[in-house]
Amino acid sequence: MTAAEDDPARRYGNLVAPGLDVFDAIADQAFGSLPAAFREAIGPVAIRVEDFPDDETLAEMGIEDPFGLLGLYRGVPLTERSLTQPQAWPDMVFLYRRPLLDAWAETEGEAAGSTLYELIRHVLIHEIGHHYGFSDEDMERIEAD
């Protein structure tokens, strides 16, 4: 290999981070891979991918660094729902592309590093699971299925 061929900028210069559309596709695939019982228990949920959380969300969560939030579940918990009061908005999971990419890049070199798909799936499970009161052990079982 010549010095020019060994230049990382030359070898990797055309790589770009996956855009919002690719993240949408990965999130759809990851959600579809979850056990049917888990998907059925939560009912319909919208998954929305954004580059970063908005300032209002960061302030609400007490987070200053926009890279500090990978995902967020917004909705009414099952334990708080009422038949006489319909939900005004659908349940939503927000995935934040830039913080997820940053977290993925940090784990890529580790022995237990994960693929971007695995990280997105992990965040989906945890955002939905915490919202519905699942324990960490429950979520680990879901991830393993």
Pairing mode of beta strands 46-50, 92-96: parallel
Q: What is the pLDDT of residues 71-127, one digit of tens each?
A: 998 876 666 666 676 666 778 899 999 999 999 888 755 544 578 888 999 999 888
Q: Domain extents for the chain?
A: 17-74+88-144
Q: What is the pLDDT of residues 60-82, one digit of tens each?
A: 999 999 999 999 988 766 666 66
Q: What is the pLDDT of residues 29-52, one digit of tens each?
A: 999 988 887 788 777 788 999 999
Q: What is the pTM of this model?
A: 0.78
Q: Which residues contact 68 (CB under 8 A, 6 or more apart)?
A: 58, 99
CATH architecture of 17-74+88-144: 2-Layer Sandwich (3.30)
Pairing mode of beta strands 92-96, 71-74: antiparallel
Q: Residue 128: name the closest of 96, 94, 97, 105 by CA.
A: 94
pLDDT (0 to 100) of residue 58: 95
Q: Residue 102: what residue type?
A: D
